């Protein structure tokens, strides 16, 4: 079951607590003010000062030479793969990773790039032996293995630096470049308690989403070496991702980098609190990592639970069976969480 199943909202009515994803956040007053005051230009001409600043600030912060602002995380990953690979070449990635499972196979369908999935371990990491085994020998019958795509966080799990390093080393030892899908990069480093460059230093290119835990309306930034980012910029244009006065979005990203990264620990703490409540109710299997809680009702009453919560102003995702993903974020504050907890206790009381 896709983690995006059953994510429709309540007909445009803002719920009291929306736990479907950390993408549902809306700009606060400070971010809106920053957007309204943004210096603007035509980014396709390279003349938007806010976009240029965002790209430079995040690249420097993450220890890379250059950055590229794109509308979405999917485009960021896609342009990275296109910049690394030629048609007919191959990306080795995790079977449950976003680039393989949730990006509509765009790398293959549109980019002519083969995706080779390997198992993802319980800790979210890839086994170095699996990576080495997936790399193809030189043979005209086989694709050329070119890139290893890692992910952190994965289903909320902050993969330890040592495990990331072991996977990256296995890839590099086999002649692969390394990309990191860091859609929730700042959640990862918050949970790991490590410098940001400890994680970005393991990969050639890194994709960072600004519209998930950081709360912007849209946008991701791909950072990496100048030559790869220049190729990705050309691909961005070809894919229709060249925007004009995009500084209104870039300003939101700059605001988020300054104000919203340090507070991510609050989301993690609320997720831990919610997981504790669900465990205390004894109503099903519960797991939690960073800002995500996965809850599988023991009685299978997913739809009934969803309807009950919706009536109380609490929106959750998930399908009719299996695990329900609940994601904490900056718009799900203490009062919103209390509303969700009260509704859960009434359902299982």
Whole-structure pTM value: 0.94
Cα gap 96→128, rounded to integer Å: 16
What pLDDT was estimated at residue 8?
Answer: 52
Identify any residues that bridge with 284 across adjacent strands, giving them in sequence order: 297
What pLDDT was estimated at residue 1?
Answer: 46
- What does each of the 349 residues of the chain score in pLDDT, given as a tens digit? 455 555 555 445 668 999 999 999 999 999 999 999 999 999 999 999 999 999 999 999 999 999 999 999 999 999 999 999 999 999 999 999 999 999 999 999 999 999 999 999 999 999 999 999 999 999 999 999 999 999 999 999 999 999 999 999 999 999 999 999 999 999 999 999 999 999 999 999 999 999 999 999 999 999 999 999 999 999 999 999 999 999 999 999 999 999 999 999 999 999 999 999 999 999 999 999 999 999 999 999 999 999 999 999 999 998 899 999 999 999 999 999 999 999 999 999 8
What pLDDT was estimated at residue 15?
Answer: 82
The dihedral sign for the CA sequence 184, 185, 188, 193: negative
User: Could you tell me the domains of the chain?
Assistant: 17-22+264-348 (3.90.1150.10), 29-259 (3.40.640.10)
Q: Give the count of beta carbons closer than 10 Å to the beta carbon of residue 63.
A: 15
Q: Give the count of beta carbons closer than 10 Å to the beta carbon of residue 156.
A: 23
Intra-chain end-to-end CA distance of the chain, in Å: 28
Task: Output the 3-class SS for the chain.
Answer: CCCCCCCCCCCCCCCCEECCCCCCCCCCHHHHHHHHCCCCCCHHHCCCHHHHHHHHHHHHHCCCCEEEEECCHHHHHHHHHHHHCCCCEEEEEECCCHHHHCCCCHHHHCCCCEEEEECECCCCCECHHHHHHHCCCCCCCCCEEEEEEEECCECCECCCHHHHHHHHHHHHHCCCEEEEEECCHHHHHHHHCCCHHHHHCCCCEEEEECCCCCCCCCCEEEEECHHHHHHHHHHHHHCCCCCCCCHHHHHHHHHHHHHCCCCHHHHHHHHHHHHHHHHHHCCEEEEEECCEEEEEECCCCHHHHHHHHHHCCEECCCCCCCCEEEECCCCCCHHHHHHHHHHHHHHHC
What pLDDT was estimated at residue 318?
Answer: 83
Q: Give the count of beta carbons closer than 10 Å to the beta carbon of residue 163.
A: 18
What pLDDT was estimated at residue 341?
Answer: 98
């Amino acid at each position: 079951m896709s983690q995006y199943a059953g994510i429709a909202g309540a007909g445009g009515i803002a719920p009291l607590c929306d736990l479907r994803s950390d993408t549902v956040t809306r700009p606060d007053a400070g971010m809106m003010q920053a957007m309204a005051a943004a210096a603007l230009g035509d980014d396709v001409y390279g003349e938007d000062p806010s976009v240029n600043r965002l790209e430079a600030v995040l690249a420097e912060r993450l220890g890379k030479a250059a950055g590229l602002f794109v509308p979405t995380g999917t485009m960021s990953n896609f342009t990275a793969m296109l910049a690394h690979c030629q048609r007919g070449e191959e990306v080795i990635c995790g079977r449950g990773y976003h680039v393989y499972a949730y990006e509509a196979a765009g790398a293959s369908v549109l980019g002519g790039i083969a995706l080779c999935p390997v198992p993802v371990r319980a800790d979210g990491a890839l086994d170095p032996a699996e990576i080495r085994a997936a790399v193809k020998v030189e043979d005209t019958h086989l694709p050329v293995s070119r890139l290893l795509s890692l992910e952190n966080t994965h289903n909320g799990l902050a993969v330890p630096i040592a495990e990331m390093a072991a996977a990256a080393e296995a890839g590099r030892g086999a002649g692969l470049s390394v990309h990191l899908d860091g859609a929730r990069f700042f959640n990862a480093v918050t949970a790991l308690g490590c410098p940001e460059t400890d994680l970005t230093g393991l990969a050639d290119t890194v994709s960072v989403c600004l519209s998930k835990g950081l709360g912007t309306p849209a946008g991701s930034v791909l950072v990496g070496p100048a030559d790869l980012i220049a190729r990705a910029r050309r691909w961005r244009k070809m894919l229709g991702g060249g925007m004009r006065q995009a500084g209104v979005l870039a300003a939101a990203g700059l605001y988020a980098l300054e104000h919203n990264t340090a507070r991510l620990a609050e989301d993690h703490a609320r997720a831990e609190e919610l997981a504790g409540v669900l465990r205390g109710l004894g109503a099903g299997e519960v797991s939690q990592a960073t800002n995500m809680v996965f809850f599988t009702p023991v009685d299978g009453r997913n739809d009934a639970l969803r309807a009950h919560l919706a009536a109380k102003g609490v929106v959750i995702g998930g399908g009719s069976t299996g695990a329900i993903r609940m994601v904490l974020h900056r718009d799900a504050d203490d009062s919103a969480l209390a509303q969700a907890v009260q509704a859960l206790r009434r359902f299982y009381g």
